[in-house]
Amino acid sequence: MKTGEIITNRLLQDEYYRVEFYAPEICRTARAGQFVHVRIPNLEHRILRRPFSICNCTEDGVLTVVYKVVGEGTRALAGLAPGMACELMGPLGNGFMPPKDGEYPVLVVGGYGSAATFMLSQNGGKGGLVLLGARSASDLLLVEEYRRNGFDVRVSTNDGSAGHKGLVTELLTEAIRENGDRPVRFYACGPTGMLYAVAKMLCARNLPGEISLDHLMCCGVGACFACVVKVKDNNADGWRYARSCNEGPVFRAAELYLED
Ligand SMILES: Cc1cc2nc3c(=O)[nH]c(=O)nc-3n(C[C@H](O)[C@H](O)[C@H](O)COP(=O)(O)OP(=O)(O)OC[C@H]3O[C@@H](n4cnc5c(N)ncnc54)[C@H](O)[C@@H]3O)c2cc1C
Ligand code: FES
């Protein structure tokens, strides 16, 4: 268990916050797609930790999480001031595999899913494409940060308040068509419905992709089976349960058991 002292904890936009912890041990090995399990102080009546993707880690040990206030835990987190601390467990989960040599990264993200893929954009200026989807303009996260890292950013919103009016999967269809035969690796994180739609599109075209599933979790370390998802298997059913906290949260698109 590590203690992460809060360096800054500020409102980013709308209901989204960015918190920076001093967590050098975690930063030493963290990879894109891994997460930290955070014990938020002053929540003794609700003891479960809360999982958050590692958005960024610097060489001097600053770990960034971008989070949306959705309930009691995240509201309590938003109230913590610099100098206070949270117990952090991590880095947990398997994380994304970086693109192979010559592969162009295409990130497909919804809402705070853009935090999970952000470290993939730190690829020494080699660039890539990020398709950012959200309900509304105020739910689009890290747009400028991706641009600063040399990524081409395309945006879709359900209500048309920014970018293409519609679903991020429509941007993906276009990107796949434009891309032709160039070797690409796709990465996705966001709402579950969107992720399964992306996985189906990639599998139908035999394209390589990695999907980070944001599943409810309890222990975070493989002990309770609260976080299971169906993956393909050679048994009679054709599937088995995998724990998304320690066998995931990143799965290959081709590995997920996709029900109709
Ligand atoms: C691997 C992983 C990475 C995550 N990364 C981020 C992140 O980078 N930023 C971020 O803001 N959130 C992230 N989440 C979701 C985050 O863990 C939850 O929003 C948080 O635990 C909610 O705690 P709470 O006490 O505020 O809400 P609760 O009071 O527990 O719940 C409030 C509402 O939020 C919903 N909720 C709770 N957990 C989740 C979840 N995992 N996914 C979707 N809805 C949920 C509940 O169903 C309920 O409707 C991640 C989750 C996982 C599993
Ligand atoms: S959260 Fe307990 S096994 Fe995954």
CB-count exposure of residue 250 (10 Å: 0-12, 13-18, 19+): buried
Cα-to-centroid distance, 50 and ligand 2 (Å): 12
8 Å CB contact between 222 and 243: yes
243 lines ligand 2 (CB under 6 A): yes
Atom of ligand 2 nearest to the CA of 224: 2
Compute the distance between CA of residue 184 and CA of residue 80 in angstroms, rounded to an integer. Answer: 41
pLDDT at 45: 67
Point out the ligand 2 atom lying closest to the alpha carbon of residue 218: 1
- DSSP character string of 203-217: HHTT--EEEE-----
How confident is the model over 119-168, as pLDDT tens digits? 999 988 899 999 999 999 999 999 999 999 999 999 999 999 999 999 99
- Answer yes or no: is 260 within a domain: no
Structural domain containing residue 181: 104-214
* Same domain, residue pair 11 and 76: yes
CATH, residue 60: 2.40.30.10
Closest ligand to Cα 222? 2
Per-10-residue mean pLDDT of the chain, 260 residues long, equals: 93 96 98 97 80 98 98 96 96 95 96 97 93 97 97 98 97 95 96 96 96 93 95 96 97 92
Say yes or no: 71 and 130 in one domain.
no
Q: What angle do CA 131, 165, 203 make, to 5 degrees?
A: 45
Examine residue 150 and state whether it is found in any structural domain, yes or no: yes
Backbone angles phi, psi at 19, to 5 degrees: -115, 140
**Nearest partner of 104 among 56, 148, 150, judged by Cα:** 150
Phi, psi of 114 (to 5 degrees): -70, -15
Residue 255 in domain: no
Q: How many domains does the chain have?
A: 2
Distance 59 CA to ligand 1 centre (A): 27
- Atom 23, ligand 1: residue with shortest CA distance: 73
> Quick one: 114 and 141 in the same domain?
yes
Here the CATH number for the domain that contains residue 175 is: 3.40.50.80
Question: Both 24 and 54 in a single domain?
Answer: yes
As given in the structure block, the two tokens for residue 205 are: 């075209």
DSSP single-letter state for residue 135 = S
Length of the chain: 260
**Shortest-distance Cα residue to atom 25 of ligand 1:** 73
Question: Which atom number of ligand 2 is nearest to the Cα of residue 245?
Answer: 4
C-alpha span between 44 and 212 (Å, rounded): 30
Å from CA of 134 to ligand 2 middle:
28
Q: What local confidence, expressed as pLDDT, does residue 48 receive?
A: 86
Q: Are residues 80 and 116 in the same domain?
A: no
